[in-house]
């Protein structure tokens, strides 16, 4: 039988697994001071498990090395979640936290929420309430399930609060606090700009990232996107840090020739500082990521999102992002319509989100 930690410090197990999780975790770590009496135990599921997808972020962001690490290296979501649940139960029994903290919407997130709920450990969800209203998307299922199982929900934007209300979530446990990814970017912004100024690899280029299952595992979508990006590359160099799974899919669909021998620079996955320094000097970015549009907002870079929906409508409303879908014509039309304009500030995206989160945790969990 699981029993809670009885020490004076509040013991929180933070479960991470993918590169966006590490950035959010970094913000939380930086917001905790010794006087807060919070002990953070880091559990890494290994969902991203290579140096370029994992270890480099711990080094660059000065994160403590994980206290526990699970090797869940498999691209099948069901396999990942099932393996995580089995292993996390053993880890949580060993470290006996008072709370479990999960981030975002990846498979490691929902795995942590499920096993914690069954073990009667309250869950803190960082980045709650976001919805794209597509029940066939893994990330959406992960968000909804995690929010249902969580005891404290920290929300990035007002749409998230409205979504939770409509789902009849107890709003006494939901708090609008802002975006932890913005905190981390502000912390390293000076360094990022220094690298961008002193280490210019390319002139007049755009960034391109691609990783969502809808886009890379569907042959039609993948071919449309790659052909559109190749067309754009006739006018401007495209810098493409490629996700390992994306590269596997491109090769398995026999589409590598589309982007080979043209004005597309294919790179290995980049670390946090190197990627953002490149983004900082880009003319625009093409991406299907959830995190890159947030980063492009802070850096003032026009962003075209290769999806038909977004869980972050605030970026659309404030002029930071444009949905162009995953068809050839949609992407080309979006590219032809790019404009550089002044973005309006998003409430609470001010670099102090994590401080607000820690303050609320102390009030709600330590009294």
Residue 313: its H or E element: helix 313-317
CB–CB of 340/320 below 8 Å? no
What is the SS3 string spanning 87-121? HHHHHHHHHCCCEEEEECCCHHHHHHHHHHHHCCC
Sheet holding 152-155, edge to edge: 68-69, 38-44, 10-16, 99-103, 123-128, 152-155, 174-176
Active-site residue, 211 included: yes
Kindly tell me the sign of the dihedral angle through the C-alpha atoms of 52, 54, 58, 60: positive
Token pair, residue 166, equals 């409509």
Residues contacting 114, CB < 8 A, separation 6+: 81, 85, 145, 149
221: how many CB neighbours lie within 10 A of its CB?
20
CA gap 83, 79 in Å, rounded:
6
CA-wise closest residue to 278 among 260, 301, 305, 311: 301
CA gap 114, 83 in Å, rounded:
12
Tell me which of 138, 211, 213, 253 is the catalytic residue: 211
Question: In angstroms, how far is the first alpha carbon of the chain from the final one?
Answer: 25
Question: Active-site residue numbers?
Answer: 211
């Amino acid at each position: 039988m699981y029993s809670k930690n009885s020490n004076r410090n509040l013991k929180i197990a933070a479960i991470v697994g993918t590169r966006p999780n590490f950035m959010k975790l970094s913000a939380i770590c930086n917001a905790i001071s010794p006087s807060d009496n919070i002990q953070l135990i880091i559990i890494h599921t290994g969902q991203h498990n290579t140096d370029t997808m994992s270890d480099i972020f711990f080094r660059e962001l000065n994160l403590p090395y994980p206290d526990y690490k699970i090797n869940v290296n498999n691209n099948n979501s069901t396999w990942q979640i099932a393996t995580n649940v089995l292993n996390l139960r053993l880890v949580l029994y060993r470290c006996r936290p008072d709370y479990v903290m999960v981030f975002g919407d990846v498979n490691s997130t929902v795995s942590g929420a499920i096993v914690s709920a069954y073990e009667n450990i309250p869950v803190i969800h960082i980045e709650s309430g976001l919805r794209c209203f597509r029940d066939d998307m893994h990330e959406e299922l992960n968000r909804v399930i995690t929010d249902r199982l969580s005891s404290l929900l920290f929300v990035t934007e007002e749409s998230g609060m409205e979504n939770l209300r409509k789902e009849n979530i107890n709003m006494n446990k939901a708090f609008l606090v802002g975006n932890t990814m913005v905190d981390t970017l502000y912390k390293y912004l000076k360094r990022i700009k220094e690298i961008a100024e002193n280490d210019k690899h390319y002139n007049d280029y755009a960034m391109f990232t691609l990783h969502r299952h809808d886009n890379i595992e569907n042959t039609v979508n993948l071919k449309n996107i790659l052909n559109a990006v190749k067309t754009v590359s006739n006018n401007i160099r495209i810098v493409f840090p490629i996700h390992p799974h994306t590269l596997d899919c491109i090769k398995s669909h026999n589409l590598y020739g589309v982007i080979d021998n043209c004005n597309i620079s294919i790179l290995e996955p980049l670390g946090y500082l190197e990627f953002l320094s490149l983004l900082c000097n880009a003319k625009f970015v093409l991406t299907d990521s959830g995190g890159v549009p947030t980063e492009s907002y802070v850096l003032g870079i026009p962003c075209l999102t290769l999806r038909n929906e977004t869980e972050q409508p605030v970026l659309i409303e404030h002029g930071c992002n444009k949905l162009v879908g995953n068809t050839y014509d949609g992407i080309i039309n979006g590219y032809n319509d790019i404009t550089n304009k002044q973005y309006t500030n998003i409430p609470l995206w001010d670099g102090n989100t994590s401080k607000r989160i820690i303050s609320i945790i102390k009030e709600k969990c330590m009294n």
